[in-house]
């Protein structure tokens, strides 16, 4: 029995193909303006990698901001539920999930059975979302993926006073003009990012084990800064943190198949 | 007796020179990265206009975010106090000043003598300040000073759903790509900013009459959008450029200081 999960995010679209015991394949693409097109494209990519066709998929669950526009799904489930399901599949002891996406962030607390107890979302303010890092990386002339590695070389991270992305941008420009090392800027940016999201995490109540999902979880600088902020270890997941929503959708698809 | 007020803002620097009870010169320039340099330049400019030298100035009060870097200021005062003083001196009937600057917004409630009773202030989130319009003007490829006129051609103002400057910028780029009319977008942006500033103003309990100060007050589209958002008529500042009210208030405080010493 083969199932699939498809997560159409604002910035990236992800798909996971799954059977009873393992992830058969997964794919990730940059989202286009058309969620239906993104979904079809990423699904074809994942199917190709698994040498399967759409006919082989018994059940497909969709999630993400574009979930309502995915043509081939049997059911849509919220991102919160999918991230929780995906994280718990990989780490059954997980109780707190911090998901930082391209344009939002969410903190979710689960009970011992995996039920959602409390969650908070921020999608109103760019600071505290992946967009903040994207704006800053562009300013520093770095790839988004470089921000984490480069910050490890910092000896003296800058302190960003502003919360607002627009003001923080101005602050970073002043630092660039005074030749502050990029590593120190990147480290300060990662710390600022973690500090904002930590407020959301603290508001839901942090319980161990804690994990991070979403694209920003690939930034080791932010993960380490978050560990410092929350004073708990962040458990690393064994698959790409960016596909956890799609994985959770696939796990839910498998459960739905079982119910039939 | 000559006194001066100097307001070093984040975006523009302003100065006013008063002789006895009259404004004899006023100037506005774009701020430099160094506030001391901005202060020196604006003062040279306003002194030249008044045909005076620095030695002629009996007292100078500084204000604005760069007020502590003004080398020639005898004293400094907060922008809140200065805007209140300046507005009330020009318009004694005013009890409420809404000041939208380049990087902040303030709502100030005054008593009958122009003293600050209560105020609300935002400099944390760019979306409630002049920066919002500045960023959007850049994205739309229009001059910020043209936005007011453009907005009056709107037929169907667009509702801007994002508050955050960063997200709203992306939103308007997609609106342009979707073929939306420029005037409709600009008008929607005014409405959006007005809505946030009105929330700030409502927090201090509005008291008639209301006037608007700061550079954004020159934008007639913003002026009417704010009237609509507040649900009342705003009394326009006609006797002086609304952008120099902070500097004017500083000059008035300088005059008070001299009179007190005399």
Cβ(A45)–Cβ(A243) below 8 Å: no
Beta bridge partners of A25: A17
* Pair (B256, B230) in one structural domain: no
Beta bridge partners of B116: B110
Instruction: Compare all CA atoms of chain B with the CA of A136 and give the residue at the minimum distance.
Output: B166
- pLDDT value at position A92? 96
Beta bridge partners of B120: B107
**pTM of the predicted protein model:** 0.87
Residue B163, classed as helix, strand or coil, is coil
Query: In chain A, which residue ranges form alpha helices assigned H by DSSP?
Result: 35-50, 79-90, 130-140, 146-151, 165-177, 182-204, 220-230, 244-259
CB of B155 within 8 Å of a chain A CB? The answer is no
- pLDDT value at position A260? 61
CB contact under 8 A, A124 and B135: no
pLDDT over 80 at B20, yes or no: yes
CB contact under 8 A, A166 and B131: yes
CB contact under 8 A, A166 and B124: no
* Pair (B199, B209) in one structural domain: yes
Each of the 260 residues of chain A gets a pLDDT tens digit; together they read: 899 999 999 889 999 999 878 999 999 999 988 899 999 999 999 999 999 999 999 999 999 988 888 898 999 999 999 999 999 999 999 999 999 999 999 999 999 999 999 999 999 999 999 999 999 999 999 988 899 999 989 999 999 988 899 999 989 998 998 889 999 999 999 999 999 999 999 999 999 999 999 999 999 999 999 999 999 999 999 999 999 999 999 999 999 887 76
Which residues in chain B have Cβ-Cβ distances shorter than 8 Å to A124?
162-164
* Pair (B84, B97) in one structural domain: no
**Mean pLDDT, rounded, for B134-162:** 94
Q: Phi and psi for A119 in degrees, rounded to 5?
A: -150, 155
**Mean pLDDT, rounded, for B205-214:** 88
The closest of A31, A81, A111 to A251, measured between CA atoms, is: A81
> What rounded mean pLDDT belongs to chain B?
94
Complete domains list, chain A, with CATH? 1-91+242-260 (3.30.420.40), 93-236 (3.30.420.40)
Alpha carbons B67 and B70: distance in angstroms, whole number: 6
* Pair (B225, B118) in one structural domain: yes
- Concatenating the DSSP letter of every residue in B40-63 gives HHHHHHHHHHHT--GGGEEEEEEE
Nearest to A126 among B103, B124, B166 (CB): B166
The closest of B66, B186, B63, B64 to B134, measured between CA atoms, is: B186
* Pair (B134, B147) in one structural domain: yes
Alpha carbons B107 and B122: distance in angstroms, whole number: 9
Residue B207 Cα, gap to closest chain A Cα (Å): 30
CATH code of the domain in which B149 resides? 3.30.420.40
* Pair (B97, B212) in one structural domain: yes
User: The domain containing residue B218 runs over which residues?
Assistant: 93-236
Name the domain count of chain B: 2
Alpha carbons B185 and B220: distance in angstroms, whole number: 16
CA atoms within a 13 Å half-sphere pointing along the CA-CB vector of A211:
26
**Mean pLDDT, rounded, for B213-218:** 90
In the stretch 111-150 of chain A, residues with CB closer than 8 A to chain B read: 124-126, 131-132, 135
* Residue pLDDT, tens place only, B36-66: 999 999 999 999 999 999 999 999 999 998 9
* Pair (B106, B229) in one structural domain: yes
pLDDT over 90 at B205, yes or no: no
* Pair (B80, B104) in one structural domain: no
Average the pLDDT over each of A7-11, A85-89, B13-17, B227-231 and give the range with the smallest value.
A7-11
- pLDDT value at position A235? 96
Which residues in chain A have Cβ-Cβ distances shorter than 8 Å to B131?
166
* Pair (B184, B63) in one structural domain: no
* Pair (B56, B164) in one structural domain: no
* Pair (B220, B109) in one structural domain: yes
* Pair (B74, B204) in one structural domain: no
């Amino acid at each position: 029995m083969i199932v699939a999960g498809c997560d159409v995010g604002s910035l990236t679209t992800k798909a996971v193909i799954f059977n009873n015991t393992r992830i058969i394949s997964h794919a990730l693409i940059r989202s286009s303006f058309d969620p239906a097109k993104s979904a079809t494209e990423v699904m074809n990519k994942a199917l190709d990698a698994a040498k399967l066709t759409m006919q082989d998929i018994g059940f497909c669950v969709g999630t993400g901001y574009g979930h309502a526009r995915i043509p081939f799904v049997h059911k849509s489930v919220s991102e919160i539920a999918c991230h929780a399901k995906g994280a718990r599949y990989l780490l059954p002891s997980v109780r707190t999930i911090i998901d930082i996406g391209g344009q939002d962030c969410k903190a979710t607390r689960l009970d011992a059975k995996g039920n959602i107890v409390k969650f908070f979302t921020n999608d109103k303010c760019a600071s505290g979302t992946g967009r903040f890092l994207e704006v800053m990386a562009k300013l520093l002339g770095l790839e988004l993926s470089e921000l984490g590695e480069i910050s490890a070389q910092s000896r003296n991270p800058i302190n960003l006073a502003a919360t607002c992305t627009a003001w923080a941008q101005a602050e970073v420009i002043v630092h660039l003009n005074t030749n502050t090392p990029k590593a120190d800027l990147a480290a300060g940016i990662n710390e600022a990012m973690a500090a904002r999201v930590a407020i959301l995490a603290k508001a839901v109540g942090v319980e161990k084990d804690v994990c991070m999902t979403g694209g920003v979880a690939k930034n080791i600088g932010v993960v380490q800064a978050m560990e410092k902020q929350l004073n708990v270890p962040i458990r690393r997941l064994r698959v790409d943190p960016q596909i956890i929503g799609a994985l959770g959708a696939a796990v839910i698809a498998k459960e739905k198949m079982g119910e039939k | 007796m000559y006194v001066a007020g100097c307001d070093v803002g984040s975006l523009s620097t302003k100065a006013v020179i008063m002789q006895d009870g009259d404004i004899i010169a006023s100037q506005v320039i774009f701020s430099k990265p160094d506030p001391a340099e901005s202060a020196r330049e604006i003062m040279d400019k306003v002194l030249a206009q008044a045909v005076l030298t620095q030695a002629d100035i009996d007292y100078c009060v500084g204000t604005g975010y760069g007020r502590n870097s003004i080398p020639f200021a005898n004293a400094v005062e907060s922008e809140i106090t200065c805007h209140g003083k300046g507005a009330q001196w020009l318009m004694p009937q005013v009890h409420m000043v809404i000041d939208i600057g380049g990087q902040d917004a303030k709502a100030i409630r005054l008593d009958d003598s122009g003293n600050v009773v209560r105020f609300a202030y935002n400099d944390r989130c760019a979306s409630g300040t002049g920066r919002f319009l500045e960023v959007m003007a850049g994205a739309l490829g229009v001059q910020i000073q043209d936005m007011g006129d453009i907005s009056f051609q709107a037929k169907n103002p667009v509702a801007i759903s994002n508050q955050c400057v960063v997200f709203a910028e992306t939103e308007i780029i997609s609106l342009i790509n979707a073929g939306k009319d420029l005037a409709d977008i600009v008008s929607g942006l005014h409405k959006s900013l007005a809505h946030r500033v009105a929330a700030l103003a409502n927090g201090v309990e509005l008291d008639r009459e209301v006037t608007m100060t700061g550079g954004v007050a020159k934008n007639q589209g913003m002026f009417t959008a704010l009237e609509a958002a507040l649900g009342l008529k705003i009394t326009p500042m006609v006797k002086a450029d609304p952008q120099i009210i902070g500097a004017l208030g500083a000059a008035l405080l300088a005059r008070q200081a001299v009179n007190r010493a005399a």
